[in-house]
Copies of this chain bind each other. A is one copy, B any other.
Amino acid sequence: MRDERLIFEKSVEGRTGYSLPPNDVPQVDINALFGEEILRKTELNIPEVSEVDVIRHYTNLSRRNFGVDSGFYPLGSCTMKYNPKINEDIAALDGFAQMHPLQNPISSQGCLEVLYRMDKYLAEILGMERVTLQPAAGAQGEMTGLMIIKAYHMSRNDHKRVKIIVPDSSHGTNPASAAVVGFDVVQIPSDERGLVDINALEAILDDTVAGLMLTNPNTLGLFEEDILKISKMVHACGGLLYYDGANMNAIMGYARPGDMGFDIAHVNLHKTFSTPHGGGGPGAGPIGVSKDLVPFLPVPVVEKKDGYYNLDYDRPLSIGKIKSFYGNFSVIVRAFCYILSMGPQGLKDASGIAVLNANYIRKKLEDLYEIPYNRTCMHEFVLSAVRQAEKGVTALDLAKNLIDKGYHPPTIYFPLIVKEAMMIEPTETESPETLDSFIEAMRELATKAAEEPESLKHAPKTAYVSRLDEVKAARNPILKWSK
């Protein structure tokens, strides 16, 4: 049943699988029109296969993949909740999918309505004044937010603010985004509670600080309890606060970044708002801003006047554009549907149950695994496989063994501040029975790690391939197929 060939290896000279209308206009002499030197001389190595070849090839490839529709996917920080099918159907409507972004607004009122209303909805959920839907993902939301921070300071002729502070538990995109936009990154440690070390923060706050980026709850799944103090401190020194909303799933309807003192906040629609992640993307990372920052939002902003939606480009303080057009529209449509399906109480319940589920697993594993910051967590928690590692069974080994048990493993080796980290986020869409069987699987692994560690070193055994050699791949990179 194994067919390991690439689509290129199935190519047969002259075979075709496409269907186009005949050319019904005069044929242009391409050589004459463009001149030969500009035309492709060597034949393109694009596979020559039939439609049935393509269908079988990618159907079979899909069968070597695992999605949240295949089973439990507690990939911490990534919030792999169920993606309701109705949202897919709606996003696929011709009335959305076949719209050109540059159409006259008179002909795209439906699209603009969705954008306008999503701006309002997300602003309400985040406690912000307005939202731009332009960023294509969380990381681009961060860039946008950082550009706004920069623009804000510049608009006040405050040119010396070159630093962005990030905690050591932050996601890699936070410092990377700051660097792309041209900031200097300063990292501060976490304290013994797993929270921002207030003293360390204090020590570096000065008038070169442009802002602080924070995830709350943080990547340990813990709420930054001192957030009000922190925001006061940062504001006091003239900096702004950026909220990395990847963990927003924990607190919808319970608390809002705006109320915590954040000036800017992104949300990952592909996490909290249930849009599918597509095996890597596309996602969407809208950001909300406080009132003072509204003038800096990217253009265009959708406005409504006398029941008519229009695109406002005339915003002199705007940072400009960060992405073509208006963001990942069809992802936004899905999230729009999600919000309407859930309603206010539904969103709050989602957070409530996400937190309940995480704490339940945490409690059921705390005797067998080290849990560095073992107290009530939010929607996720991080355990450490240090005890198992002593026996030679690493977080990676545990992960690969979970594959054989039918689960997608948790995030491993993140956050960086926990050794042998396994970051477990069950989400609210999982049933108690699923949690119980996962707990059971994790407990079995712990027992095996203690009793017969060697038996855990050879997983996975049931996947399409056995353990893959990542070192080899990086050392001698083969990045494309060649004949």
Contact = CB atoms under 8 A, between A and B. Distances in A.
A82 B431 contact: no
A471 to B, nearest CB: 27
A431 B50 contact: yes
A154 to B, nearest CB: 48
A305 interface: no
A36 to B, nearest CB: 35
A1 B403 CA distance: 8
Contacts of A10: 433
Contacts of A50: 429, 431
A60 B55 contact: no
Interface stretch (A63-71, A265-273, A354-362, A449-457): A63-71
A102 to B, nearest CB: 27
A51 B86 CA distance: 11
Given A60-B70, A63-B63, A406-B3, A431 B12 contact: yes
Contacts of A406: 1-3
Interface in A49-88: 50-53, 55-56, 59-60, 63, 69-71, 82, 84-86
Interface string A389-414: 00000000000000011100000000
Contacts of A53: 431
A86 to B, nearest CB: 8
Contact of A69 (B1, B59, B85, B405): B59
A82 B51 contact: yes
Contacts of A107: none
Given A1-B404, A63-B63, A12 B433 contact: yes
A462 interface: yes
Interface residues of A, number: 32
A19 B342 CA distance: 11
A82 B63 contact: no
Contact of A462 (B1, B85, B430): B1
Nearest to A437: B3
Interface of A: 1-3, 10, 12, 15, 19, 50-53, 55-56, 59-60, 63, 69-71, 82, 84-86, 341, 404-406, 429-431, 433, 462
Contact of A55 (B85, B431, B462): B85
A15 B462 CA distance: 32
Contacts of A55: 69, 82, 85
Contacts of A462: 1
Given A60-B70, A70-B59, A406-B3, A82 B12 contact: no
Contacts of A59: 69-70
A3 to B, nearest CB: 7
A466 B405 CA distance: 21
Given A51-B84, A52-B429, 4 more contacts: A1-B406, A1-B462, A2-B406, A55-B85
Nearest to A429: B52
A111 B114 CA distance: 34
Contacts of A63: 63
Contacts of A84: 51
Contacts of A433: 10, 12
A63 B67 CA distance: 13
A50 B12 CA distance: 46
Contacts of A52: 69, 82, 429-431
Contacts of A15: 431
A114 to B, nearest CB: 21
Nearest to A71: B56
A53 B430 CA distance: 9
A437 to B, nearest CB: 10
20 contacts: A1-B404, A10-B433, A12-B431, A12-B433, A19-B86, A19-B341, A50-B431, A51-B82, A51-B84, A51-B85, A52-B69, A52-B429, A52-B430, A55-B69, A56-B69, A56-B70, A56-B71, A59-B69, A60-B70, A60-B71
A19 to B, nearest CB: 8
